[in-house]
Amino acid sequence: MPCTVIVGAFWGDEGKGKIISYLALKDKIDLCVRTGSVNAAHTVWIEGKRYALHMVPATFVYEGCRLLIGAGANVHVAKFLEEVEATNVKNRIGVDCQASIIEEKHSMQDKISAHLKGLGTTGWGVGPALEERVRRTAKLAKDIPELQPYLTDVAVEANNAINAGKKVLLEGTQGFMLSLFYGTYPYVTGRDTSASAVCSEAGVGPTKVDDVLLVFKSFMTRVGAGPLPGELTKEEAIKQGWFEIAAGTGRERRSAPFNFEIAKKAAIINGATQAALTKLDALYPKCKGARTYDELPLEAKEFVKEVERQIGVPVVLIGTGPEALDIIDRRS
């Protein structure tokens, strides 16, 4: 490892929470910085219990991991405190002093702003909060009394850990095709979601990163408005077993087959060195629960090989079920 960036390749919902929680348990991650904001939920299944996390890093499943929220993130205070309680991580989580705050007024603005109508935002208030930050009028974490016990300098902590040879993970949120710069503008989020932006939000320079792990789902989904090449009808998606409900918002996800052109673009711009492929069992049900590559049926292996050939990056982790440990690990 020692420093790995995790990025979603499509429009979010690729299964980053599963991959991150697996790495936390398997590799015993020492420190994780979550970036982005409250509009993205990472789903973690552990011991039959489901967590949909908007603020707390998905590495919480490993009790030895220091959990951090970077300066580039936007903190929803109530949601943060609620999740800290639910995951019992009060003594090992920190928030950067300069992370900005999402206030109730931002959520209201998100729901009534004319220029946001039709874009399919989550309504959390992330866009208006980002606008206020750019205008230099935002509240910061250091201004919030309830956050005082958690304040820290995340960039210093992260870089010290990397320099000490510890295992560090930078947790990107949302998906690359929602990037403000590289996604399906204007149907995008209010920030860049690439690996470079994750590093920037966490305060870690690009020369400190060893691997960029790009997470693909075996088919594509997106919520909200905007193009989705090859989109299926809801009926077709249900028939294929691809119909999903978003973990964080409860919205229905639109579905489409895996798109190799989009996958190649994501691999190039993110500088991917490794790939993860989740929900292979949704394409090939015989894969469900497999823990070794040899257990996969031939057609599933051919699909994995085609992904590798097209994107030019090895698929090192393959998801075969919902639990954190339902993974085929092909590393070393």
Active site residues: 13, 42
Q: In whole angstroms, what is the distance from residue 112 CA to residue 83 CA? A: 27
The burial of 88, by beta-carbon neighbours within 10 Å (0-12 exposed, 13-18 middle, 19 or more buried), is given as: exposed
Contact indicator for 110, 119 with CB cutoff of 8 Å = no
The answer for 174, left when phi > 0, alpha when psi is -120 to 50, beta otherwise, is left
Q: In whole angstroms, what is the distance from residue 254 CA to residue 224 CA? A: 8
The three-state (H, E, C) secondary structure of the chain, written as one string: CCEEEEEECCCCCCCHHHHHHHHHHHHCCCEEEECCCCCCCEEEEECCEEEEECCCCHHHHCCCCEEEECCCCEECHHHHHHHHHHHCCCCCEEEECCCEECCHHHHHHHHHCHHHCCCCCCCCCHHHHHHHHHCCCCCEHHHCHHHHHHEECHHHHHHHHHHCCCCEEEECCCCHHHCCCCCCCCCCCCCCCCHHHHHHHHCCCHHHCCEEEEEEECEEEECCCCCCCCCCCHHHHHHHCCCEECCCCCCEEEEEECCHHHHHHHHHHHCCCEEEEECHHHHCHHHCCCCCHHHCCHHHHHHHHHHHHHHCCCEEEEECCCCCCCEEECCC
Neighbours of 63 (CB within 10 A): 10
